[in-house]
């Protein structure tokens, strides 16, 4: 049986490190949703960087750069964390550098894994199908919020875990996986409502980003798999 685990925080990723696992990085609101959207709209390559210093260095070299901290775009940069900003022909064929509060930190933490892919509700089915087609263990790495658990990433981990467990190919001897599956079962009838009082929903509501939230919770709207190749994210050939 393949192993399936959920890690709630990049801070404890070393406890879960598994050379046989494909790591799915999850930051539903909004980094990994934005990345899936960007590739769905034709972005050729994304360069995830952990620090604002690295982002600034790329900006100085005339790259397109997405830079977000605490849910807001950093002034002077081309994109923030909104999936809507990528829904334009202008991104087609482009390379975009990206740094976000949590999501790119999680990608950075997992960079030495056997394979790192990007997950969100927007690519749920294609991702579940790819993972089950592989003979690998799976580690769902939630970006969380500043290394603490968050509800929306846990929910998506539950949604993806439920799909994987249906196949009967994964043992889940992991209480985190159980917790996420229970959350998702509870939330499934109304994910948007379920997240109503979550910490990050409240943060985004203050910034008038409800439209982003509604988009990010839709299933299969961007059926692509961003995958880390060396230092870059590219779209996996399916």
Interface residue list for a copy of itself (CB under 8 A): 8-9, 11-12, 15-16, 145-151, 154, 173-176, 178-179, 182-183, 186, 197-200, 202
Query: Quick one: which H or E segment has residue 9?
Result: none
Rounded Cα distance between 18 and 114, Å, is 8
Nearer to a copy of itself by Cβ, of 53 and 197: the residue is 197
Tell me how far, at minimum, the Cβ of 64 lies from a copy of itself, in Å. 32
Phi, psi (deg, nearest 5) at residue 59: -60, -40
Nearer to a copy of itself by Cβ, of 20 and 202: the residue is 202
Tell me the torsion sign for CA atoms 69, 73, 79, 80. Answer: positive
Tell me how far, at minimum, the Cβ of 152 lies from a copy of itself, in Å. 8
Tell me how far, at minimum, the Cβ of 45 lies from a copy of itself, in Å. 33
Rounded Cα distance between 5 and 165, Å, is 11
Rounded Cα distance between 61 and 49, Å, is 15
Nearer to a copy of itself by Cβ, of 16 and 86: the residue is 16
In the structure encoding, which two tokens stand for residue 179, read together?
């917790």
Separation of CA 171 from chain center:
23
Tell me how far, at minimum, the Cβ of 105 lies from a copy of itself, in Å. 14
Tell me how far, at minimum, the Cβ of 120 lies from a copy of itself, in Å. 18
Nearer to a copy of itself by Cβ, of 59 and 201: the residue is 201
Rounded Cα distance between 152 and 144, Å, is 8
Nearer to a copy of itself by Cβ, of 43 and 110: the residue is 110
């Amino acid at each position: 049986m393949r192993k399936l685990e959920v890690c709630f925080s990049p801070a404890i990723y070393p406890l879960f490190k598994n050379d046989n696992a494909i790591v799915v990085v999850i930051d539903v609101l909004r980094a990994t949703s934005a990345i899936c959207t960007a590739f769905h709209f034709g972005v050729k390559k994304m360069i995830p960087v952990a620090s604002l210093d690295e982002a600034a260095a790329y900006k100085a070299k005339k790259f397109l750069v997405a830079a977000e901290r605490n849910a807001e775009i950093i002034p002077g940069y081309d994109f923030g964390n909104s999936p809507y900003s990528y829904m334009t022909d202008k991104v087609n064929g482009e390379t975009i550098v990206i740094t976000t509060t949590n999501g790119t930190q999680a990608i950075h933490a997992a960079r030495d894994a056997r394979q790192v892919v990007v997950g969100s509700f927007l690519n749920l089915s294609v991702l579940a199908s790819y993972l089950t087609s592989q003979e690998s263990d799976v580690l769902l790495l939630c970006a969380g919020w500043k290394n603490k658990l968050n509800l929306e990433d846990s929910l998506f981990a539950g949604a993806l875990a439920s799909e994987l467990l249906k196949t009967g190919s994964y043992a889940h001897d992991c209480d985190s996986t159980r917790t996420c599956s229970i959350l998702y079962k509870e939330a499934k009838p109304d994910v948007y409502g379920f997240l109503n009082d979550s910490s990050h929903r409240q943060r985004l509501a203050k910034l008038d980003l409800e439209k982003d939230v509604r988009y990010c919770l839709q299933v299969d709207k961007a059926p692509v798999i961003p995958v880390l190749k060396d230092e870059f994210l590219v779209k996996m050939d399916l």
